Structure 1
Amino acid sequence: MTNITSSIKEFAQQFPEKTAINSKNQTLTYADWYMLVSKTANWLHSFSFANKTISFLMPNGIPFLQLFAGASMAGWTAVPFDAKWKAAELDKRLAISCPSIVVTTKDLYHHVAHLHPFVLIWEDCREELNKKDQAFLIEKNDNMPFYMGFTSGTTGNPKAFIRSHKSWAASFLVNQHDFEMDEKEQVLIPGSLIHSHFLYGAISTLCTGGTVHLLEKFSAPKTLSLIEEREITTLYVVPTMIAAILKEDRVIERPIKIISSGAKWDKHSKQAIRNVFAHLTMIEFYGASELSYVTYLTDDHKADSVGKPCHGVEIEIRGSRSEKLEPNDIGKIFVRSDLIFDGYLHPDTKKIQTIKDEDGWATVHDMGYVDDEGYLNISGREKNMILYGAINIFPEEIEKVLSLNPAVEEVAVIGLPDPYWGQIAAAVVKGQASTLDLKRFCKKHLAAYKVPRKWFFLDEMPYTTSGKIARAQLKDSIESKVTSH
């Protein structure tokens, strides 16, 4: 596969009347979809910019996917922007990505018009691109960059990462081999396409011949209704969506496959979700924006782990001197595969900086170990690690224990400065539990030094755009409370 969109033409010829995308207001066949993507690619090809980078600020829907796929087909780099970002956040990302064109809707135009010299309104662009040819000749270069995303956007200065067609094509093979997905899939994408988990879910389905069902905005009742009405086979979720679905108190009898990412899926909700879906296949994967898929878990065996390596992925655990560690020894997780991204875009030179070593290994500085059966276990992020005296404490281990308490809805453990210990563990909890009860609970399951020394209770946690708890924002907030008292 030279370009991830090259298969769309084949599908348009093989099954032109098959539904490619189903949204609230529109249904597109593969013939329709290929025509739209080709017209978009030809429209972009008509511009004479040397820098073939397009940013777009669009709501969830078919036009978002059309611009992304059209840019990919044309050999451009697509840079999706989040409509929730404030002007300062957009300005930072525009400075990093340096797009030649920014496309947005009439409704969102005022958010970005003053930040870039060439902002186009989608409603006008659509008229222009509809005049273009219905076929496009794709260049043969699978190492061409096609997607720029951002990490650490809500926790500090954003970093732009770059992906090539080759990396996503390799990811498609994981869907096929490990997740057992094919062209018969009816895939429901209930979340925002700005989140790479949902964007990948939609595009990978369209590039492998399945049917995508889009929601404009996540709704647990609507998600469950669509699963029944449209005979959905696969559902992409993040754990916060599972929590919302559990509150609906419904039972779905038809078979469903759930693919979850974003955070570790806790045991309680795993058990509870089986009461909602009578015939359920759960697929939980561990990965990162930089690494793509790393491991996957499909059953309750070794449920505390994140599973075994995905198709085409190698894993090594290394110590502080870069030596390879034995099974069950905790160290830094290194990964080698064709799925790894090209690198980060240097904000000044605009050159792509790889994170791979000379042998192709890369790390995002997660810590963990591989057990005797080859299952990977995550201890925590190196940057989250709390140095209590001379002892390393991983917040994720404490969070896992506290989440087992039924009175705890959500929890995050952070390190706070301490003049004697250096850092101490502090638990931030959403729920009805008391400090005393939670301390006792921790003492039953954890060594004494791992029991949080400070406790804070919130009505709501701060979240990133991908639905994760925004740890840096939370830490800053708690530290400011501590210092103000």
Structure 2
Amino acid sequence: MIKTESKNQFPLKDLLTKFGSQPVISSAGKDYTYWQLFKLVQKATKRFDNNSEKIIKLTENDPLKFITDFLAIVQTGNYPLIGSFVTDQFDLKIKDLATEPFFFGLTSGTTGQPKVYRRNWLSWKKGFDCCRKLFNLDAVQSIATSSPLTTSLGLHTLMLAIYLGKKFYLIDNIHQLNSLSGDACLFSVPTFLLQSSNNHNIPPNNLRTIFLGGGTLTSQGIKKIKQQFPQVKLFEFYGSSETSFISWQDITNGKFKSSAGQLFPNTQVSIGLQQEIIVTSPYLI
């Protein structure tokens, strides 16, 4: 059963009223409208109603099932724990729910021990509204990502698209860009596009903007991507997982050396007494 939405809960019913008949998900060659997605979520809620655990691990590989399960867990008043892998070593208790989180995520562990981070809905909503205005996302009809939904970038792109009333695509092949409808943007990592840079037969597509995170992009890498996609605007950003968004820069015509660009609005960075980097922003709540 879908419970009454609170201020800090993802507003699925409000989005249904606003975008009901519009396509929201493209999965396995089939489009699903907000109404169709809502019905799938309603069906999935039966498995999560009255769950004693409250924090539910979500490692589903099938994209459509992941999406419906994620939303169903949230809509039943429970909390998803997502990650590319989820083990039993993370001891999350009810006390961790004091801030009414939207979900719990798991870092990859590439720069240290994997750790759990949390987001609540209002912090992500502020980030979505910021991206919408900053990058003129009202002008696009489709939003795609090449990152798995169990990653912070993949999940962020999914929920951004649903919140803004765009059609969401999850792609794992550069040629799938040809299937994007209307003007589109892609959230990806440099390795995905650079691994495809040797393929000179990318078909014409509607891609207008590429956002890249999850790795530093060199000047040579930017040149390779622009050769493949001369029509796109190219942005690099830092954040989206436990740090949330910190900074961004337009690198369409190259970038400044040793620069992380400019801070997202209302974000502040300082150096602590132990020379640690301290980030404060409305996207970290």
In the superposition, the TM-score normalised over structure 2's length comes to 0.84
- 2:3 counterpart residue number: none
- 1:334 counterpart residue number: 278
**Structure 1: how far apart are the matches of 2:15 and 2:157?**
18
- 2:36 counterpart residue number: 32
Deviations 1:90-137 (Å, cap 9, x if unpaired)?
Answer: 5xx22315699xxxxxxxxxxxxxxxxxxxxxxxxxxxxxxxxxxxxx
- 2:19 counterpart residue number: 15
RMSD: 2.8
| Unaligned ranges ≥5, structure 1 | 101-140, 323-330, 342-485
**Structure 2: how far apart are the matches of 1:14 and 1:173?**
16
- 1:314 counterpart residue number: 268
> Following TM superposition, by how much is the alpha carbon of 1:54 offset from its aligned partner in structure 2, in angstroms?
0.8
- 1:257 counterpart residue number: 209
Q: Secondary structure of the residue that 2:90 maps to in structure 1? A: helix
- 1:96 counterpart residue number: 90
Asked if structure 2 preserves the Cα contact closer than 8 Å seen for 1:184 and 1:209, the reply is: no
- 1:198 counterpart residue number: 154
**Structure 2: how far apart are the matches of 1:62 and 1:99?**
29
**Structure 1: how far apart are the matches of 2:62 and 2:120?**
23
Q: Secondary structure of the residue that 1:339 maps to in structure 2? A: helix
- 2:64 counterpart residue number: 62
**Structure 2: how far apart are the matches of 1:142 and 1:250?**
52
Asked if structure 1 preserves the Cα contact closer than 8 Å seen for 2:179 and 2:205, the reply is: no
Structure whose residues are more often strand by fraction: 1
> Following TM superposition, by how much is the alpha carbon of 1:67 offset from its aligned partner in structure 2, in angstroms?
1.1
**Structure 2: how far apart are the matches of 1:142 and 1:270?**
43
Deviations 1:201-246 (Å, cap 9, x if unpaired)?
Answer: 011110221110123xx222x334334xx34511111011011221
> Following TM superposition, by how much is the alpha carbon of 1:279 offset from its aligned partner in structure 2, in angstroms?
1.5
**Structure 1: how far apart are the matches of 2:242 and 2:282?**
12
Amino acid at match of 2:90: I
Q: Secondary structure of the residue that 2:266 maps to in structure 1? A: coil
**Structure 2: how far apart are the matches of 1:306 and 1:66?**
36
Equivalent of 1:146 in 102, 117, 125: 102
Q: Secondary structure of the residue that 2:67 maps to in structure 1? A: helix
> Following TM superposition, by how much is the alpha carbon of 1:177 offset from its aligned partner in structure 2, in angstroms?
2.3
Q: Secondary structure of the residue that 1:283 maps to in structure 2? A: strand
Confirm whether residue 283 of structure 1 aligns to residue 222 of structure 2: no
For residues 65-144 of structure 1, the aligned pairs below 5 Å read 65-82=67-84, 85=85, 90=86, 93-97=87-91, 143-144=99-100
* Structure-2 change in CA distance of 1:183 and 1:68 (3 Å): farther
Amino acid at match of 1:24: A
Q: Identity over the aligned pairs, expressed in percent?
A: 22
* Structure-2 change in CA distance of 1:18 and 1:253 (3 Å): closer
- 1:247 counterpart residue number: 198
- 1:5 counterpart residue number: 10
If asked which structure has higher relative contact order (CA below 8 Å, sep 6+), I would say 2
In the superposition, the TM-score normalised over structure 1's length comes to 0.52
Amino acid at match of 1:5: F
Q: Secondary structure of the residue that 2:88 maps to in structure 1? A: helix
Amino acid at match of 1:310: F
> Following TM superposition, by how much is the alpha carbon of 1:191 offset from its aligned partner in structure 2, in angstroms?
2.5
**Structure 2: how far apart are the matches of 1:67 and 1:24?**
17
Amino acid at match of 2:231: H
Q: Mean Cα displacement is larger for which, 204-213 or 149-158?
A: 149-158
| Bigger radius of gyration among the two | 1
**Structure 1: how far apart are the matches of 2:7 and 2:160?**
15
Q: Secondary structure of the residue that 2:278 maps to in structure 1? A: strand
> Following TM superposition, by how much is the alpha carbon of 1:16 offset from its aligned partner in structure 2, in angstroms?
2.1
Confirm whether residue 234 of structure 1 aligns to residue 228 of structure 2: no
- 1:471 counterpart residue number: none
**Structure 2: how far apart are the matches of 1:98 and 1:26?**
37
* Structure-2 change in CA distance of 1:253 and 1:152 (3 Å): closer
* Structure-2 change in CA distance of 1:190 and 1:151 (3 Å): closer
**Structure 2: how far apart are the matches of 1:265 and 1:212?**
25
Deviating runs (4+, > 6 A) in structure 1?
Answer: none
For residues 300-449 of structure 1, the aligned pairs below 5 Å read 300=253, 302-304=255-257, 305-316=259-270, 318=271, 321=273, 332-340=276-284
Asked if structure 2 preserves the Cα contact closer than 8 Å seen for 1:242 and 1:269, the reply is: no
Asked if structure 2 preserves the Cα contact closer than 8 Å seen for 1:182 and 1:209, the reply is: no
Asked if structure 2 preserves the Cα contact closer than 8 Å seen for 1:292 and 1:339, the reply is: yes
Amino acid at match of 1:15: F
